[in-house]
Amino acid sequence: MAVPVTIGVPNVLVSEWTKLRSLRSTYWTAIVAVVVAIGIAILGCSSFVRHFSPSDLHGFDAASFSVQGLYASQILLGALGVLTISGEYATGMIRTTLTSVPQRRSMLVLKGAVFAAAALVLGEIASFGSFGVGQAILHGKHAGVSLGDHNVLRAVIGGGLYIAVVGLLAFGLGALVRRTAGALAAFFAVLFLPSALIDLLPSSWHDTVMKYAPANAGTQIMAVTRQHHMLTAWNGLGVLVLYAVAITGLAVYLIGRRDA
């Protein structure tokens, strides 16, 4: 469904970007997400160097180790993704938005695209920042890697991609549930609960099913070396994208059938 010419897609994009960046929570979340990612890289890599033993290098993935702070940053970006849409329902601003852009589904798609783009930029900043700081510390024990090494650049870029997809998944849940508390609970459940539940399955099923859990699949993009029982980097990210697209797609469908 196209946005009318009198409104125009560029105007809607500008409007959604203005709303996103005008929120104080956006700036604080962005700053904290980057600081947390880099801070965890500093703490983790410093601890590794302080207790270093040559045997620690066996199977050590320096790139993934330095961007492990993104696991914390994803929670912050997920919360921001939920608030980006649920906040409008909470304040009643959604009625103004839908009056300005009556094509509800187009509005939601464009709002999601703006948030996903912002989350991607933020995720890449956090990923490259934590990687750079982490490698500077690890090189003190010759344990670091460079972006030119095999699969390292893909892993670092993949960190930002992972954050963006997780943010989109959270946005979709926010649009689907429309209540901040409920959407946040759903976000944690969708991202983390499957891994816990899969642990209860018989061992013969465990490895087969575990690779398709959202977080397990998506984080493979940040691993330089593939674990034999997990999906490949891009296949794993693709599975996470499918989760995000399915949830957001359902929200897009339902927004045209529900009252604001």
DSSP line for 200-257: TS-HHHHHHHHTTSHHHHHGGGG-SS--TTS--HHHHHHHHHHHHHHHHHHHHHHHTT
pLDDT reading at 260 higher than 80: no
Higher pLDDT pick, 201 / 148: 148
Residue 49 CA: distances (Å) to CA of 56, 73, 139: 10, 23, 9
pTM: 0.91
pLDDT in tens, 123-176: 999 999 999 999 999 998 888 899 999 999 999 999 999 999 999 999 999 999
pLDDT reading at 21 higher than 50: yes
Residue 55: count of CB within 10 angstroms of its CB: 7
Q: How far apart are the C-alpha atoms of 199 and 89, rounded to whole Å?
A: 36
Average pLDDT over residues 55-62: 87
Boundaries of every domain in the chain: 9-255
Q: Cα torsion at 29, 34, 36, 38 (round to 10°)?
A: 180
Nearest-Å Rg of the Cα atoms of the chain is 20
| DSSP assigned state of 3 | P
Over the range 168-177, which residues count as b (16 or more CB within 10 Å of their CB) and which as e? bbbbbbbbbb
pLDDT at 167: 97
Mean pLDDT of the residues in the chain:
91
